[in-house]
Amino acid sequence: MIMRSLHSPLQVLTVGNLALFGPLPNSIDRRAWLSHKPQAMRVENLITRKLTEAFDPQDLRVVDESHQHAGHAGHRPGGETHFRVYIVAEAFRGKSRIERHRMINATLSSELTGGVHALAIHANAPSETGAS
């Protein structure tokens, strides 16, 4: 069922309990429109969001270093394969370097088994200085 609003260019395609909002051409290919996916969130932003939600960091920097690895293993056109994370969070207090890395790797497990080829981690508690 296609519903078109008379007052707005926004249109709705409903299929069962699913309602999809967006511009629809006058004649549409329902399968093509349903398979259309919104532009994916950049991996850098996804990593930032997940680490922020998991650790409530005092400081967090996620750097996409993919451009430095062009031609190397794991690199893809478009990048988003090699990252460096600098994070300072209370959650790391009293934890070893290995425990910190495991905590971060567990948080980003789907990214690490997906398109992220390399992740360099610098994780510290607030009172610490230097790389870990």
**How do residues 64-116 score in pLDDT, each as one tens digit?**
887 665 565 555 555 677 889 999 999 999 999 999 999 999 999 988 888 78
Domain co-membership, 14 together with 77: no
Structure tokens at 2: 């296609």
| Residue 88 domain-assigned (yes or no) | yes
Domain co-membership, 30 together with 53: no
Strand ranges (DSSP E) for the chain? 2-4, 11-15, 18-22, 59-64, 82-88, 118-124
- Please report, for the domain that includes residue 100, its CATH number: 3.30.300.90
Residue 35 has pLDDT above 60, yes or no: no
Number of domains present in the structure of the chain: 2
Determine the pLDDT at residue 76: 55
Strand ranges (DSSP E) for 65-117? 82-88
Domain co-membership, 52 together with 29: no
| Residue 102 domain-assigned (yes or no) | yes
Q: Is 112 exposed, middle or buried (0-12, 13-18, 19+ CB in 10 A)?
A: middle
| Residue 131 domain-assigned (yes or no) | no
Domain co-membership, 19 together with 80: no
Note the pTM of the prediction, 2 decimals: 0.62
Domain enclosing residue 104, as ranges = 43-124
Domain co-membership, 50 together with 85: yes
* Cα distance between residue 124 and residue 35, in whole Å: 42
Domain co-membership, 25 together with 72: no
| Residue 132 domain-assigned (yes or no) | no
| Residue 31 domain-assigned (yes or no) | yes
Domain co-membership, 49 together with 23: no
Of 59, 69, 58, 124, the residue nearest 93 (C-alpha): 124
* Cα distance between residue 60 and residue 113, in whole Å: 22
| Residue 129 domain-assigned (yes or no) | no
| Residue 118 domain-assigned (yes or no) | yes
Q: Is 27 exposed, middle or buried (0-12, 13-18, 19+ CB in 10 A)?
A: exposed
| Residue 130 domain-assigned (yes or no) | no
Tell me how far apart the 2 most distant CA atoms of the chain are, in Å.
62
Determine the pLDDT at residue 84: 92
CB atoms within 10 A of CB 56: 11
